Every structure is written in structure tokens, then in C-alpha cells.
Structure 1
Amino acid sequence: MTVLLELKGVNKSFGALRVAQDVTFDLPEGQALGVIGPNGAGKSTLFNLIGGALPPSSGQIAFDGHDVTRTPASARCRAGVARSFQIPHPFVGMSVFENLLVASSFGESGHTDPEAAAAHILDITGLRHRANRHAGSLTLLERKRLELSRALATGPKLLLLDEIAGGLTEGECHDLVATIKDVQSTGVSIIWIEHIVHALMAVVDRLIVIDFGRIVADGDPATVMAQPEVQEIYMGISVEDAA
């Protein structure tokens, strides 16, 4: 299986504060990887390092066979790395369709027909019936769908999802999970940070746990969640209680 993303010994420090410590892992093409950890563990820092918003203090990041360690975020987006954010910030004065056209037309996605690409993405994400609505009038779930759609409109090979299920009801979360599964079926690789673990477990093939900027577990999701150290870090279950 071809490796799409590879991090080798990546570190990030702000003065004496180390927010990423020897982060090393790879992501094969087509895989959905989940990332969990307590608040302040370094999950958002990881996305900032992968997406290019932050340069690493040391280590190497490769994407699609190229060293992108010092490549800026804009160039990584053009190369195929897209990110959705926890709090959606669409162009509220534009329609849903126009929001996608901005990404598909100017994000250098490679779409030969940006309008057709935008319409297809709206079908995948369930927003076709809202295409002509102003983005500012959408519900939270619809804004989450639009955030996902805008990322997809750039034509990514790798999609970074940052707590996209946060703030949703149980039913809305279930609907969004179904949409993410549809996105995954198109062949896009996914890294998903999420606190709603049952949503994550319904999608991902693999799970990484981060604590204090370091990876403490990596593997099959059910196996990782059963580890006593993970239960203590993430769910507050002490090793003694688990025993």
C-alpha cells in the first residue's frame, strides 16, 4: 500500500514548552485515521504541523512522496491537503454553492468544471437542497456539512477533520458519520480528531492516542481503546481500577 503521509521524529517547541515530541507515523492512501487525546494533548498542533500552519522545530514531514517540512500551508493545499475547522467560518454573505465555487475555482483543485464539481460535492454531503441558501442562514449541522464541502472542493488527497461532530445532537452526529463514510468511499484519506469517540470508531480504520505531545498508542481502534494506559489518559479510569 502506498504511503501518502509520513512524519519522522517531528518535534515542536515554544520556548521550554514541547507541544509535539518525536511524532512518528505514516498514513497509507485511502486509510481513515482517528486521533484522540485530552484537551491540550497536542492534537491541533499535529494538524497545524501537517497542514503547514506551523513549521516543526525538528523532524521531517513528507506528503505524496515529497518533503513538505518547510512548505507553506497554501502550497500544501494545492498539493492535496485540505482541512476543516472545529468552528465553521463560511462566507456568510454568499450562497452555499458560491462558497464551494470559491474553493473549486481558486484552490487549484484541478477541477476542469468547477461548477459540476461543486454540484457533485453537494450531492455527497447532502447540501444540494441548500445550494442557493445564504451560508449565514444554515443550521449548525448544515454549517458543518458546508465546512466539509468546502474542504472537498479543493480536490484533496488528504482530508483533516478537526472535531467536526462537536456540538451536534446524537441524531445529527449519526447523520454526519454517514456522510463522512460516503466521503471515505471516494478514496480520500482522512485524519479525524474527535472527542465523540463512538462517532470516530464508526469510521476509522486505525486510532492514535496523543498525550503531552507524544503518541502513546497506535493501532486497531478497539485494541487501542482497551489498553489500560489509554483508558487512564482519556477516560480517567485508573490502571488499578481497570484491573
Structure 2
Amino acid sequence: MTVLELANVSKTFGALKVTDDVTFSVPKGQALGIIGPNGAGKSTLFNLITGNILPDAGTVTLLGRDVTRSPAMERVRMGVGRSFQIPQPFEGLTVFENLLTAAAYGQRKREAEVQDACIAILQDTGLLAKANVLAGALSLLDRKRLELARAMATGPELLLLDEIAGGLTEAECRTLVATIRGLHAQGITIIWIEHVLHALTSVVERLLVLDFGRVIGMGEPEVIMASKDVREIYLGMEV
């Protein structure tokens, strides 16, 4: 089963083509990593998948349904969950209250119906002991965990991670990667944008490389990272 398919998707802002004829698909249960230099169009690609922006050309298909013109909230309720590069919790609410809000709104359910699922997510993301801590008082690692947990609380079929390992220490990164690997082992389909390559390649089965909005490579991580074009364009190495 294919969870997500993009076919010839393009997006232009003024004279700048930020997504250029992008085509790829993600089968259920796979983890796909996306890499590319700054300005390559990675975040724009996520915004096209989530419906925060709409493409100028091409189609976006989610779980067999054309969602190209569908609004972002409709896609959330169809099963798209997303974390953001800069965590954006409700700082005046507790960790648990943040999850309840995301779950109730994202799944169109009463809080009482989603409490048990939210407790399970807190357990899976290592936040159970901090359920009653205000989100504004969390460390960076725990804010990243909460960002991940809030995305999971919407009940996603597809989980989008936007540079979630950025800014963490090596030890913190290992902790977060173990959490993501555990979620993936449960069968969650993941697309992960990341600059911390060792974290990314320890989880994903495939890598997609973007440069100036175009896909320049896609395949197994070892093959992609050994590619001459990828090393020259992404790593800045003359090969």
C-alpha cells in the first residue's frame, strides 16, 4: 500500500522555482530521509505534503486519495502528523494537556476518548514522568520529544519530522533517535528531513536528495551517500 505519492509537483514563488517536478512515493511502513543543502526546497516540500501551501502543478495523493487542493486540517484528519524544526508547544499547558489538545482536535474526539492513547504516547516518547510539567519549563530535548508526541497524538498514518535532531548534544540525539526508531518499529510511516546524517541514516531505509527543488537522487542510504553528485552538491566535496 502506498501512503503518499507526489507526481510532477512544482511550486514557484515569484521567479524562484522552489519545487521542480518532484515525483516520488512512500509505501506503508517505510522511513524515507530527505537531505539537501539549505535552500534546496525541503521545508517547502513538507508544506506541500501537509497542505500549508498548494502546488502550481502536479498531484499529491494520500492513502489513494487526491489531496492536491485539500486544506491542511483535512490532511491532518486523514492521517498526516508533523513536527516542526522549532518546537511550538502551548507553553502554559502541561505536557499531557498539550497531547490532549492535539489528539482531540486532530482526531475530532472528546478528551475522555483520547486520554489512554495520550498516556501510551507519553510512555513511547519518554515523557510520562513529565506529564504534569508545564511545556514552557522543558529542556530542549524534552521539547523535541513533546513536538514528536504531539504529532503522534493526531493519530498519523504518515509522520513528518522536520530537523527534529537539530541543536541536540550527541547523547541527546542518540536518545531521540532511539525513540524514533521505536515508533518506526510499530509500523509508523516516516518522512524525515535532517542535517544530522548519522541520526537519519540509522533509521531510514531510503534517502531522497534535493537540490534547487529537484530530486537528484533517491535510493538506499549507502548508495546515495557514495554518489559523486551527492557528495559534490550536498557535502561540498569536489570528487
User: What is the aligned partner in structure 2 of residue 103 from structure 1?
Assistant: 102
User: What is the aligned partner in structure 2 of residue 217 from structure 1?
Assistant: 217
User: What is the aligned partner in structure 2 of residue 11 from structure 1?
Assistant: 10
User: What is the aligned partner in structure 1 of residue 48 from structure 2?
Assistant: 49
User: What is the aligned partner in structure 2 of residue 36 from structure 1?
Assistant: 35
1:182 lines up with 2:199 in the alignment: no
1:232 lines up with 2:232 in the alignment: yes
The answer to whether the Cα contact below 8 Å between 1:4 and 1:64 also exists between their aligned partners in 2 is: yes
SS in 2 for 1:22: strand
SS in 2 for 1:133: coil
Cα shift readout 1:181-222 (whole Å, capped 9, x = no counterpart):
011112110000000000000000000000000000000011
SS in 2 for 1:107: helix
SS in 2 for 1:93: coil
User: What is the aligned partner in structure 2 of residue 78 from structure 1?
Assistant: 77
The answer to whether the Cα contact below 8 Å between 1:109 and 1:153 also exists between their aligned partners in 2 is: no
Whole-Å separation in 2 of the counterparts to 1:120 and 1:109: 19
Whole-Å separation in 1 of the counterparts to 2:27 and 2:108: 21
User: What is the aligned partner in structure 1 of residue 146 from structure 2?
Assistant: 146
Counterpart of 2:173, as a letter, is C
Superposition RMSD on alpha carbons, in Å? 1.1
Cα shift readout 1:34-75 (whole Å, capped 9, x = no counterpart):
000000000000000000001000000100010000001010
Counterpart of 2:130, as a letter, is R
User: What is the aligned partner in structure 2 of residue 129 from structure 1?
Assistant: 129
Whole-Å separation in 1 of the counterparts to 2:209 and 2:232: 12
Offset at residue 120 of structure 1 (A): 0.2
User: What is the aligned partner in structure 1 of residue 169 from structure 2?
Assistant: 169
Offset at residue 81 of structure 1 (A): 0.4
Number of residue pairs the alignment of both structures matches: 238
The answer to whether the Cα contact below 8 Å between 1:217 and 1:224 also exists between their aligned partners in 2 is: yes
The answer to whether the Cα contact below 8 Å between 1:209 and 1:216 also exists between their aligned partners in 2 is: yes
Relative to the length of structure 1, the TM-score reads: 0.96
Relative to the length of structure 2, the TM-score reads: 0.98
Whole-Å separation in 2 of the counterparts to 1:211 and 1:103: 33
State the percentage of identical aligned residues: 59
User: What is the aligned partner in structure 2 of residue 158 from structure 1?
Assistant: 158
Offset at residue 110 of structure 1 (A): 6.3
| Cα separation, partners in 2 of 1:87 and 1:222, compared to 1, 3 Å | same
SS in 2 for 1:235: coil
SS in 1 for 2:54: coil
| Cα separation, partners in 2 of 1:88 and 1:208, compared to 1, 3 Å | same
Gaps of 5+ in 2: none
Cα shift readout 1:137-168 (whole Å, capped 9, x = no counterpart):
00000000000000000000000000000000
Offset at residue 108 of structure 1 (A): 1.5
SS in 1 for 2:23: strand
Counterpart of 2:93, as a letter, is M
Cα shift readout 1:119-145 (whole Å, capped 9, x = no counterpart):
000000000000000001000000000
Counterpart of 1:95, as a letter, is T
